Structure 1
Amino acid sequence: MKFSSIIMSAAAIGMSAVSITNAQQNQAACSSVYTRKELLSLTSSEWTLYKAILAAMQRDGWFAWFSYLHVQWFNQIHGNSQFFPFHRRFVQDWERVGRMYNSGFAQPYWDEMRDYRTPATSQVLTANWIGGNGAGTNLCVTNGVQGGWTMTYPNSHCFSRNFANNGNPTSWYSPEYINSLVQKNSNMATFRSDMEYSLHGVVHIHLGGDMYQGYSPNDWAFMLHHANLDRLWWQWQQLNNHLWTMDGPNSDGAATTLNTNIAYFNEPIRSVMQLGYGNMCYQYSSNVLSRRDLDSDVESVLAVSLPTDILSKYFPETAKTHHINVSAPVAAAISNLSNSDIKAPIAAAAAIFANSPIAAQVQSLITSRQRKRIPRPAEITDAWAKMHNYNAADVARVKKEARDFVDDMAKINYESPF
């Protein structure tokens, strides 16, 4: 299920405050804006160009430089509200270097939610893209864009990965859960911890090798991963006009504000808050939480199949406006339903819409796509939390809420098409 309609509508709401934005940030709109695409949507010519740029950046020491910076500022940029602003600026700086080699370069993102059930089988982690697990004593990666590379920081070593669970990482976080985090959080401090202690950490841990270390930018998956996290932050910013929401603790324990300087870059956080302004001259190809080919009308039908209490608890924005941008046939079908029908479990969708204009679509979705319960996601380890000096109570809260989400969805017999 995706709740794209509410996210897309929220974008318009967020951008309606442009005049306020300009006055507050005092930065000029970019004269041109380039687009960051989902990795697998790159054309063959784009991917050929990007591979050449990455090889040149490795040759000239840029992988080592960004890994060095990440290590030097590690304690200041994790476990506090520097997390999102620093990494937005960090990835943008990496992108700026790539564009020095060719102005056509734009850092892609990896839509990891599409691969959450069985990450190791992701097309991204194949020889045609960024390569798979490491092999041999040193867990060297031999295929993909970095296959056979020798990294130079912090010492000379083969580029490595060490997938968790003996090479078969358990499930990550579903599109539904990440959507819930985007919708339900009203402040940066909670949104940041919810994301950092779930999707962020698990991807790092489960890819392992260089990606597990403080020098994780050695693995280009770092940039793909953090571009995706930045995309999710941008979606949250646009929802309920969180464009300028910045709060929570700084690395020194002081309150973080828009005027707080970004670690290392010595620039105010306000300078990175709005894409399309100042130096943030990029946008994302998708404003949807997970790139899927499911019919949007059918997805809207499935959205209203959730019980009201579940919608209100986990998807408050969807609960407010169930049917934003729903097509006329679907709106008509929904209007004919009783409250008891709307609260029916998703498995009854075909029966509910048996006489509606979209009955064939609903039936096709149910019969042609394998639907399964959402599994409990993997969790960050105690060792990872200690390595980052995370707040133990916050980590425990995030773990519990992720488990509760899966359990609550199971209680209503929800089965995901993802």
Structure 2
Amino acid sequence: MKLSSAFIAVVALVGVSVNAQFPCASSPVRKEIRSLSSQEWGRVSKVLRTMQDSGWFGWFAYMHNQNYLIVHGSEYFFPWHRRYIRDFESVAQQIDRNFVLPYWDELRDYANPAGSAVMSSKYLGGNGQGSNRCVTNGLQGNWALSFPNRHCLQRQYNGGNRINSWSSPESIQSILSRSTKMSQLRPGIEYSLHGDIHIALGGDMLKPYSPNDFVFFLHHANLDRLWSLWQIMNPVQNFWSMDGVDNNGRPIGYGTPLPHYNDPIISTMRLGMNNMCFFYDNGGSVTSRSLDKRDTTGQKCIPRPPAAIPALVEGVFNDVNALPVPADAYVHTTIAQKLPAPVLNKWFPTYTPGVGLNNTVSYSAADIPSTPIYSNTPPVGNVSGECKDNSLYNSAEVYSEEYHAFDLASDAKGGPKYPMPYSSPMTDSFIKMHNYPMSEIRKQRALALEFVRDMNAAGYQSPFAKGATA
């Protein structure tokens, strides 16, 4: 007798006693790093230096190194990293009970990452210097790391002195909106924004021991925040979603123990419960009542309207570090106001209730601008480190006519200033290091190409792209 996946999920849910989970005594709020007061950042810096002196950075780098092939490329990805960075935060709180792990809202910096205040001497320092690519300024400037051997913290930007643009807020919002289960969300995020930052910074971040760089924890806290946002976008559909398989093809579910920790996956799925004693500064809360609801109509749930966003003037994008709301929150409103219905329905279905995910979209003449707003010319040279001999991609896939680079010539002539490229494809070495399945990489790549093509046809320009030509 065959059992439906929905029935199996319900049985599993009951079996691990979801309603018996234990609330945290307190759950501090994780904030975006640039919103920390000088006192708060000073506390974070002091604790991290103590952890470095005590050998904790070496320990966490070692643990990630031991498990990275297990927890990447499978649905372990989100729950394991949530548990892992919470472990890091818990150790820090043994040093200072008021420590709270910040996150980096990387999306607001996507067009010019190297220009972010986060990569300045005020916070985490910049590019590596000299033949060894050692970071010499910022929090970890001139640190002597212990794993896998004694060395300086290394970074090597993938654009020389710049960092190539990575996934846009719009592309990540689309993934959140059209993913209806964990096995869709995970590859969508892991093979885009997750890989973008590791590849962009290079050095230690390109190694299995990437937690040597504190950027790792800021980055994964942001990915965890995005998972949390996705969970509460549609609590009935998304919150307890945990389908998929491990790298050996074995099913993963609520009771599956996390590698190294052996905690069941379900213990990580609800913030403010069990050991997940934290929230995010822009995340809503989910009540037990809302989690008990089930969609009995067979129709898509109507999402809550987005919270009111402070009025923003165009000038704020001269300094994205000063943006008063997360990038994903801002583009949510921008997209809803500016995209035509066909594009909105296809790529942002939770913004348009009642529209299916697999609908066919056709454009009218009014939907398509008469003049393309993106460059059709691939950049000169190998800007991202891929497409060398023996590349896992072929030239047609990567450098197609849909490559929407920043069109500097057009900008110089007074043309569009805010184009929206998709992120660079992951490099061969990164794919091989994680043993990522090429079939899934190619699938995500095709979706990214189609997404940008449709956004191009709709005439949408990301307000966050100004940084690339500033």
TM-score (norm 2): 0.72
Q: Note if contact 2:122-2:138 (Cα within 8 Å) is conserved in structure 1.
A: yes
1:90-129 matched pairs, under 5 angstroms: 90-129=84-123
Of 254, 260, 265, the residue aligned with 2:256 is 260
- The answer to whether structure 1 residue 201 and structure 2 residue 234 are counterparts is no
Pairwise CA RMSD: 2.8
Structure 1 distance, partners of 2:331, 2:266, is 39
1:141 match: 135
- The answer to whether structure 1 residue 270 and structure 2 residue 263 are counterparts is no
CA apart distance, 1:301: 6.8
Q: Note if contact 2:128-2:155 (Cα within 8 Å) is conserved in structure 1.
A: yes
- Structure 1: give runs of 5+ residues left out of the alignment: 1-18, 323-339, 346-369
Of 162, 167, 170, the residue aligned with 2:161 is 167
Per-residue CA deviations over 1:50-109 (Å, capped at 9, x if unaligned) read 111000000000000000000111211110011111100000000000001101111100
Structure 2 distance, partners of 1:192, 1:409, is 23
What's the secondary structure of 1:259's corresponding residue?
A: coil
Structure 2 distance, partners of 1:378, 1:190, is 20
Q: Note if contact 1:371-1:416 (Cα within 8 Å) is conserved in structure 2.
A: no
CA apart distance, 1:169: 1.9
Of 442, 445, 450, the residue aligned with 1:404 is 450
What's the secondary structure of 1:154's corresponding residue?
A: coil
2:178 match: 184
CA apart distance, 1:343: 7.0
What's the secondary structure of 2:184's corresponding residue?
A: helix
Q: Note if contact 1:83-1:192 (Cα within 8 Å) is conserved in structure 2.
A: yes
Per-residue CA deviations over 1:304-331 (Å, capped at 9, x if unaligned) read 3311111111100111289xxxxxxxxx
TM-score (norm 1): 0.81
Q: Note if contact 1:120-1:168 (Cα within 8 Å) is conserved in structure 2.
A: yes
Of 300, 315, 320, the residue aligned with 2:353 is 320
- The answer to whether structure 1 residue 29 and structure 2 residue 75 are counterparts is no
Q: Note if contact 1:81-1:247 (Cα within 8 Å) is conserved in structure 2.
A: yes
What's the secondary structure of 2:159's corresponding residue?
A: helix
Per-residue CA deviations over 1:101-145 (Å, capped at 9, x if unaligned) read 101111100000000001111110000000000000100000000
The alpha-carbon distance between structure 1 residues 302 and 87, as it changes in their structure 2 partners (threshold 3 A), is closer
Of 243, 246, 250, the residue aligned with 1:247 is 243
Which is richer in helix?
Answer: 1
The alpha-carbon distance between structure 1 residues 406 and 24, as it changes in their structure 2 partners (threshold 3 A), is same
What's the secondary structure of 2:423's corresponding residue?
A: coil
CA apart distance, 1:21: 12
CA apart distance, 1:373: 1.6
Q: Note if contact 2:170-2:331 (Cα within 8 Å) is conserved in structure 1.
A: no
- Structure 2: give runs of 5+ residues left out of the alignment: 1-12, 284-305, 308-319, 356-363, 370-415, 465-470
- The answer to whether structure 1 residue 285 and structure 2 residue 281 are counterparts is yes
Per-residue CA deviations over 1:331-375 (Å, capped at 9, x if unaligned) read xxxxxxxxx9x9798xxxxxxxxxxxxxxxxxxxxxxxx951202
What's the secondary structure of 2:190's corresponding residue?
A: helix
CA apart distance, 1:393: 0.6
What's the secondary structure of 2:29's corresponding residue?
A: strand
- Work out the number of aligned pairs and report it: 359
The alpha-carbon distance between structure 1 residues 25 and 87, as it changes in their structure 2 partners (threshold 3 A), is farther
Of 338, 343, 347, the residue aligned with 1:310 is 343
Structure 2 distance, partners of 1:43, 1:297, is 23
Q: Note if contact 1:81-1:250 (Cα within 8 Å) is conserved in structure 2.
A: yes
Q: Note if contact 2:104-2:222 (Cα within 8 Å) is conserved in structure 1.
A: yes
The structure with higher relative contact order (CA 8 Å, sep 6+) is 1
The alpha-carbon distance between structure 1 residues 57 and 116, as it changes in their structure 2 partners (threshold 3 A), is same
